[in-house]
Each structure stands twice: as structure tokens, then as C-alpha cells.
């Protein structure tokens, strides 16, 4: 049997945008992903469909799987011929026990690679406006684990650290914050030395407490802090307010769920991330092309008889052209036809195929599309609509009411999508999600179906149109509607909701 391979991949500090290109490529090609609790929720969207995944849930003082067992899982699964990704928060070689995990692999001749990650001692201060080095303040950086190994007498040489006069970053040290500050003071550090605790940096939970070594422990007790968090000590901490930038972004501190189908979700997620949001891509529906496309194939044989072809979604466009290609045809089959698209997203999908759309309705929904297109068609015109099996009936009714013959063909099905990586219900119940973004009534229904028992009044829903908004309100959600049925307008709505 062919031996597989293990990749130790650094997941970075939490923001999906800080993953390296190689890390993304490696994750997407994995057969099995073994991941820690400290990786950002947004990274789950990169896990390939069909890949196995195992959570080893490692947090300070709470390991759901002992290190020795993790090592054995990596070895056993690689020996089965699998491409195994060991996904670790930050960088695998910086207090990540990456070296330990390689020992068993090396002993057994299993090939492996290391994919370094952006590390929190540099990235988290940067997201808080703190440069870890600055020539006017310090020229050295020292990274120390604040976590004392169980059963070990190892401890921190505070006198040596004070002598460096450099920036000190303590990882996994929040439980020992008083001890660390006290040790630095006893070793001679100026009690007025700037210091900070940085919570959940690069994510929506980011928070900083800036004080001095002499007052930091008390200030953290007063303001509260959640782990994971790092401690940073040094004159550079005084620059935090001057250089702060993350909180200036419109959606800084917001955690948003986007529910579009997997193939259509990235554009919306990218818009929100640019505005500062932490985005969880959790499709609530999936679209699947029908195996039996005989109706559409028959329609292709009679394309010259149609006056219009109407597309109601980007997915409908993609499926149509896939069938067209399999039938040995190309865009010349559409010669003489006029093309209608329900909105800008569908229009863009057609434009990508060098097709000019003749008609887009003033409001991007099926009812308006039918009503306004009905004014352009004549008695006896044949109209082809290749779309989802569950489509807007008013579109057909409006066109038939104008005397047109409508051939409404189901080319793909929409069904609820499941996921077991993120506890959506728990996130809403604990107030961790600011809003959920819905782009169709079916995404609302899929979300509701996936979260039975959730009090939907806890969900603030950003909706793209009135049908979507009505579906959200029917579930009991607090629903808001974008001014226009476009992704840009929907993103603006999310910003407006944050300000309310």
C-alpha cells in the first residue's frame, strides 16, 4: 500500500486572510484534517467536501485528545495512504509541539512537510496598532511561553528578560498574569513600563487592555478578558492608540454568517471581510444539476422557435451552458434569441460568456421580471426558462397572461445543506453572531431547518429582497432588507445594521 503524507500547517492567528497561499492549497487537497480548537471558525469553509476531519480540541489545560494519541492518528492515517493535514493555530513550530508530532513520523519513514503560519506574537499586536519592534523604542523581540509544563520545574528567568530591554510577548500566560507582572517587577522592571493584554486578536472578539506592568493585572480583572489572549510588555505598547487601525473598519468586531450556496458565497464573504467582519461561510442550501436533462436537450433542438430565454440565477446560467456543451453546441445556438436576466449577478454570469443581456427588471425578483418582461413579449412568443425546480410561479403567470407560451424547465434542484463543524445554534444563543446574511427565501428555510430549537428572535437577518425578508420574518427573525437586490447593497445593509 502506498504511504500517504502529513503536512503540518500553520493556521495563523484566526483571520482567514492571514493564511498563506500554500496553506490554503494544502488544506483544499487534504483527505483528512486534524485541527486544534484555536483555529478560526472561518477556516472551516476551506475544508474540502468529502474530506474527513477530526477535532483534537487543544486549549490550555483542556485537551480532548492526548498528544501521544494525536501523534498516532497522524501516523496511522498516513500509513493508510491519506493526505493528512495537521492544522495548528499560529505556527506549528512556535510552542505548537510540531517537532514532537514529527518524531513518530520520522521514525516510521512517513514523508511530511511544514507549512509555516503567521504567528500571533507578531500579528495580534499588529492588529492592535502595536509594532513589536521600533527603532525609537526597542530593537529586540522575545517570545516566552507563560504556561508552565505540567510536572516541570521550568520557570521564567525574569531578570534575563528585564536586561534585554526588548519587547516581551507571553503566550498562554493569562492564568499566570499576576505572577508574570510580579516577576518582572521583582526583577527590576519599571512599574510604569507600558503593557497590554490582547484578546482574540485578528477576529471579531478582538479586545485590548493597555496599562502598565504595575497595573495590568488589576486592569484586566476590572475590564475582563477572554482567552485566547497574549500579554505584551514594552514601550511599543504606548503606540496602540496612535496606530490603531482595525477598529476603524466599518464592520470591525462583527461576526457574520453567510448562507449562500458554496459556489456563490465567496464574493459576498470577500465584501464583508474587506469591511472588517469575521465571516463564517456556512451554506444553508446547495444546488445540484439534475442528472436527467432530457427536457432541456429537447429544447436545445428547437432553439430557433424561441423568442426569449430567461435566466433567474447564476446557477441556472452555469447549468444551461454545461448541458449546451455536453450536447456539442455553443453560443451560436442562441442566435436570434433575446436574453433576460433577473439581476446583476445573473447578468454578470452571462457577461462572462460574452453575452449581452437585453433585459433586466427594475427590481430583481421573479414577480417584477415577469410583469415587466410581459410588456415586451407578443402573443404566441415562446419563452424558455431553464431554472431551479422550485421557481417563482408569478414569473410564468405574468408571461402567460401576456399571451406567451412558456417552457419552464427544471435544470437543477435546491436542497438543504448540512454542516457539523460549527455550532451555529450555540453561537447565536451566546450572542456571538451579529447577523446572518440571506440571499433567497430558500437560504432562510435551509438555515431554519438546520437549526431546530433555535430561538429565531435571536437572529438578525440581512435579506436581499422582500420574499427573503418575508421568509425570515415568518421564522421569527428580526429581518432587514437591502435597498437593492445586489451584493454591494446587501453589504451596505450589514454595515447599517451594525450602527443601529
Question: What is the tens place of the pLDDT at every residue in 473-497?
Answer: 999 999 999 998 888 999 999 999 9
The model's pLDDT over 413-449, given as tens digits with 9 standing for 90+, comes to: 999 998 889 999 999 999 999 999 999 899 999 999 9
Q: Quick one: angle between helices 98-107 and 67-79, nearest 10? A: 40
pLDDT at 152 over 70: no
The share of the chain scoring above pLDDT 90, in percent, equals 82
pLDDT at 66 over 80: yes
Confidence of residue 57 (pLDDT cuts 50, 70, 90): confident
**Distance from C-alpha of 350 to C-alpha of 435, rounded to nearest angstrom:** 31
pLDDT value of residue 1: 60
**Distance from C-alpha of 393 to C-alpha of 388, rounded to nearest angstrom:** 12
pLDDT value of residue 151: 55
pLDDT at 59 over 70: no
| Mean pLDDT along residues 312-332 | 94
So which residues are the catalytic ones?
36, 58
Q: Which of 152, 144, 120 is nearest to 36 (CA)?
A: 120
Confidence of residue 154 (pLDDT cuts 50, 70, 90): low
Confidence of residue 235 (pLDDT cuts 50, 70, 90): very high
Q: Which top CATH class is 288-416?
A: alpha beta
Confidence of residue 256 (pLDDT cuts 50, 70, 90): very high
| Mean pLDDT along residues 330-346 | 93
| Mean pLDDT along residues 73-84 | 95
Shared fold status for 255-284+417-499 and 288-416? yes
Confidence of residue 149 (pLDDT cuts 50, 70, 90): low
The model's pLDDT over 265-288, given as tens digits with 9 standing for 90+, comes to: 778 999 999 999 999 999 999 999
The model's pLDDT over 155-206, given as tens digits with 9 standing for 90+, comes to: 899 999 999 999 999 998 999 999 999 999 999 999 999 999 999 999 999 9
Higher pLDDT, 453 or 99: 453
CATH T-level fold of 122-248: 3.30.950
pLDDT value of residue 220: 96
pLDDT at 293 over 70: yes
Secondary structure, 3-state, the chain: CCCCEEEEEECECCCHHHCCHHHHHHHHCCCEEEECCCCCHHHHHHCCCCCEEEECCCECCECCCCHHHHHHHHHHHHHCCCEEEEEECECCCCCCCHHHHHHHHHHCCCCEEEECCCCHHHHHHHHCCCCCCECCCECCEEEEECCCCCCCCCCCCHHHHHHHCCEEEEECCHHHHHHHHHHHHHCCCCCCCEEEEEECCCCCCCEEEEEECCCHHHHHHHHCCCCCEEEEECHHHHHHHHHCCHHHCCCCCCEEEECCCHHHCHHHHHHHHHCCCEEEECCCEEEEECCCCHHHHHHHCCHHHCCEEEECCHHHHHHHHHHHHHCCCCHHHHCCCEEEECCHHHHHHHHCCCCCCCECCCCCCHHHHHHHHHCCCCCCCEEEEEEECCCCHHHHHHHHHCCCEEEEEEEEEEEECCCCCCCHHHHHHCCCCCEEEECCHHHHHHHHHHCCCCCHHHCEEEECCHHHHHHHHHCCCEEEECCCCCHHHHHHHHHHHHHC
Domain 255-284+417-499 CATH assignment equals 3.40.50.10090? yes
CATH number of 5-118: 3.40.1010.10
pLDDT at 233 over 60: yes
pLDDT value of residue 485: 85
Output the average pLDDT for the chain.
Answer: 93
In the chain, where the domains are located: 5-118, 122-248, 255-284+417-499, 288-416
Vertex 12: Cα angle to 213 and 113 (nearest 5): 130
The model's pLDDT over 201-221, given as tens digits with 9 standing for 90+, comes to: 999 999 999 999 999 999 999
Amino acid at each position: 500500500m502506498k504511504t500517504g503524507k502529513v503536512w503540518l500547517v500553520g493556521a495563523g492567528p484566526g483571520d482567514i486572510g492571514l493564511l498563506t497561499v500554500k496553506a490554503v492549497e494544502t488544506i483544499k487537497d487534504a483527505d483528512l484534517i486534524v485541527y486544534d480548537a484555536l483555529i478560526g471558525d472561518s477556516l472551516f469553509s476551506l475544508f474540502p467536501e468529502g474530506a474527513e476531519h477530526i477535532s483534537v480540541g487543544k486549549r490550555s489545560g483542556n485537551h480532548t485528545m492526548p498528544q501521544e494519541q494525536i501523534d498516532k492518528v497522524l501516523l496511522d492515517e498516513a500509513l493508510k495512504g491519506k493526505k493528512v493535514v495537521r492544522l495548528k493555530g499560529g505556527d506549528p513550530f512556535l510552542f505548537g509541539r510540531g517537532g514532537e508530532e514529527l518524531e513518530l513520523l520520522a521514525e516510521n519513514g512517513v514523508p511530511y512537510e511544514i507549512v509555516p503560519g503567521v504567528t500571533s506574537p507578531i500579528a495580534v499586536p499588529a492588529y492592535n496598532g502595536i509594532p513589536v519592534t521600533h527603532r525609537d523604542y526597542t530593537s529586540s523581540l522575545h517570545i516566552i511561553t507563560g504556561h508552565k509544563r505540567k510536572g516541570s520545574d521550568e520557570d521564567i528567568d525574569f531578570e534575563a528578560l528585564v536586561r534585554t530591554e526588548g519587547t516581551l510577548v507571553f503566550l498562554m500566560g493569562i492564568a499566570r498574569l499576576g505572577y508574570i507582572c510580579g516577576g518582572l517587577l521583582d526583577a527590576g522592571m519599571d512599574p510604569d513600563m507600558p503593557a497590554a493584554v490582547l484578546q482574540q486578536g485578528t477576529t471579531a472578539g478582538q479586545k485590548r487592555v493597555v496599562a502598565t506592568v504595575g497595573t495590568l493585572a488589576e486592569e484586566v480583572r476590572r475590564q475582563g478578558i477572554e482567552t485566547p489572549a497574549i500579554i505584551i510588555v514594552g514601550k511599543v505598547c504606548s503606540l496602540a492608540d496612535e496606530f490603531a487601525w482595525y477598529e476603524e473598519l466599518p464592520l470591525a468586531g462583527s461576526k457574520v454568517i453567510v448562507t449562500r450556496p458554496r459556489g456563490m458565497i465567496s464574493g459576498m464573504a470577500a465584501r464583508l471581510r474587506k469591511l472588517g467582519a469575521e465571516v463564517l461561510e456556512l451554506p444553508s442550501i446547495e444546488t445540484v444539476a439534475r442528472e436527467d436533462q432530457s427536457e432541456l436537450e429537447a429544447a436545445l433542438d428547437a432553439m430557433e422557435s424561441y423568442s426569449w430565454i430567461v435566466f433567474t440565477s447564476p446557477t441556472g446560467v452555469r447549468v444551461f451552458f454545461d448541458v449546451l456543451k455536453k450536447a456539442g453546441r455553443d453560443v451560436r445556438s442562441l442566435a436570434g434569441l433575446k436574453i433576460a436576466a433577473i439581476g446583476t449577478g445573473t447578468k454578470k454570469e452571462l457577461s462572462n460568456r460574452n453575452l449581452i443581456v437585453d433585459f433586466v427588471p427594475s427590481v430583481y425578483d421573479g414577480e417584477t421580471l415577469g410583469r415587466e418582461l410581459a410588456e415586451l413579449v407578443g402573443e404566441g412568443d415562446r419563452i424558455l426558462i431553464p431554472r431551479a425546480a422550485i421557481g417563482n410561479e408569478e414569473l410564468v403567470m405574468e408571461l402567460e397572461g401576456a399571451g406567451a407560451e412558456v417552457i419552464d424547465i427544471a435544470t437543477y434542484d435546491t436542497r438543504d445543506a448540512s454542516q457539523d463543524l460549527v455550532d451555529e445554534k450555540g453561537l447565536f444563543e451566546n450572542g456571538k453572531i451579529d447577523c446572518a446574511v440571506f440571499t433567497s427565501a430558500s437560504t432562510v428555510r435551509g438555515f431554519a431547518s438546520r437549526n431546530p430549537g433555535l430561538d429565531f428572535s435571536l437572529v438578525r437577518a440581512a435579506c436581499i429582497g422582500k420574499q427573503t425578508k418575508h421568509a425570515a420574518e415568518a421564522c421569527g427573525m428580526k429581518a432587514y432588507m437591502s435597498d437593492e437586490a445586489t451584493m454591494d447593497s446587501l453589504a451596505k445593509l450589514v454595515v447599517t445594521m451594525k450602527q443601529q
